[in-house]
Chain A
Amino acid sequence: MFISSPLAVASAAWLVLVVVLAIIVAPLVVEQANHQTIGLRFFAPFQLEKGFAFFLGADSLGRPIMLQLIVGARTSVLIAIFAVGISASVGYAIGLVSGYFGGWVDNILLRIADIIHTVPSLLMALVVLFVLEPSILNLIIVLGITRIPVYLRTSRTQTMEVRERMFVEVARAMGASNWRIMTREIAPLVFPTIRTLAMLEVAAVILSAASLTFLGIGLQRPDVDWGMMVSDGRAYLKSAWFVAVFPGLVIVLTALSANILSNWLRAVEDPAQSTLFFRAPKKKKNVEAGK
Chain B
Amino acid sequence: MLTFIGRRLISGLITLLGVVVVVFFLSRLTGSPIDLFFPEGAEPAQIEAFNRAYGLDKPVLHQFGIFLGNVVQGDFGTSIWQQRPAMQAALSEMPMTLVLASIAMTIAVLVALVLGSLAAVYRFRTVDRVVTLLSLATSSMPHFWFALVGILIFAVQLRFLPTSGSNSWQSWILPVATVSIGPIGVLTQVVRGAMIDTLSSGYIRNARARGFTGARIVYRHALRNAALPIISVAGDIAAGMVNGAVIVSVVFAFPGIGRLIVGAILNRDYPVLEASVVVVGVSIILLNLLIDIVCSIVDPRIRLT
Contacts and interface: CB of A to CB of B under 8 A. Distances in A.
A128 B28 CA distance: 11
Interface stretch (A16-24, A95-103, A274-282): A274-282
Contact of B129 (A114, A234, A275): A275
Interface in A236-291: 237-238, 241, 244-245, 248, 251-252, 255-256, 258-260, 263, 272-273, 275-276, 278-281, 291
A181 B199 CA distance: 39
B126 to A, nearest CB: 10
A122 B242 contact: yes
Interface stretch (B14-22, B51-59, B105-113): B14-22
Interface string B128-165: 11001100110111111100110110001000000000
A198 interface: no
B196 interface: yes
A230 interface: yes
B242 A237 contact: no
A252 B196 contact: no
B133 A210 contact: no
Interface in A189-248: 203, 207, 210-211, 214-215, 227, 230-231, 234, 237-238, 241, 244-245, 248
Contacts of A260: 136
B21 to A, nearest CB: 9
A112 interface: yes
B129 A238 contact: no
A47 interface: no
Nearest to B282: A118
A81 B124 CA distance: 33
A123 B145 contact: no
B152 A123 contact: no
Query: Which interface residue of A115, A230, A238, A255 has the most chain B CB atoms within 10 A?
Result: A115
B204 interface: no
A129 to B, nearest CB: 9
Nearest to B153: A241
A130 interface: yes
Contacts of B280: 119-120, 123
Given A127-B273, A131-B30, A259 B136 contact: yes
Interface in B1-56: 11, 14-16, 18-19, 22-23, 26-27, 29-31
Contacts of B196: 272-273
Contact of A252 (B129, B145, B148, B277): B145
B124 A278 contact: yes
Nearest to B148: A244
Contacts of B201: none
B243 A211 contact: yes
Contacts of B23: 119, 127
Contact of A115 (B19, B26, B141, B243): B19
Size class of the contact patch on chain B: 35 or more
B95 interface: no
B124 A275 contact: yes
Contact of A248 (B18, B136, B142, B262): B142
A37 interface: no
Interface residues of A, number: 50
Given A114-B15, A131-B29, A120 B240 contact: yes
A275 B145 contact: no
Interface in B231-266: 239-240, 242-243, 246-247, 250-251, 261-262, 265
Contact of B261 (A126, A241, A252, A275): A126
Given A115-B19, A210-B142, A275-B132, A215 B250 contact: yes
Given A127-B26, A245-B152, A291 B213 contact: yes
B148 A234 contact: yes
A211 B140 contact: no
Contact of B277 (A119, A121, A291): A119
A175 B151 CA distance: 66
Contact of A130 (B18, B265, B285): B265
Given A122-B246, A123-B242, A275-B128, A248 B149 contact: yes
Given A118-B19, A122-B246, A255-B140, A245 B124 contact: no
B223 interface: no
Given A118-B281, A280-B123, 19 more contacts: A111-B18, A115-B19, A119-B19, A131-B29, A131-B30, A131-B31, A211-B142, A214-B247, A237-B148, A238-B156, A244-B145, A244-B148, A244-B152, A248-B145, A252-B141, A255-B142, A273-B196, A279-B124, A291-B213
Interface of B: 11, 14-16, 18-19, 22-23, 26-27, 29-31, 119, 123-125, 128-129, 132-133, 136-137, 139-145, 148-149, 151-152, 156, 193, 196, 213-214, 239-240, 242-243, 246-247, 250-251, 261-262, 265, 273, 277, 280-281, 284-285
21 contacts: A112-B18, A115-B15, A118-B15, A118-B285, A119-B280, A120-B239, A120-B242, A121-B240, A122-B246, A127-B23, A130-B265, A131-B29, A211-B243, A215-B246, A244-B145, A244-B152, A248-B142, A256-B137, A256-B140, A272-B196, A275-B124
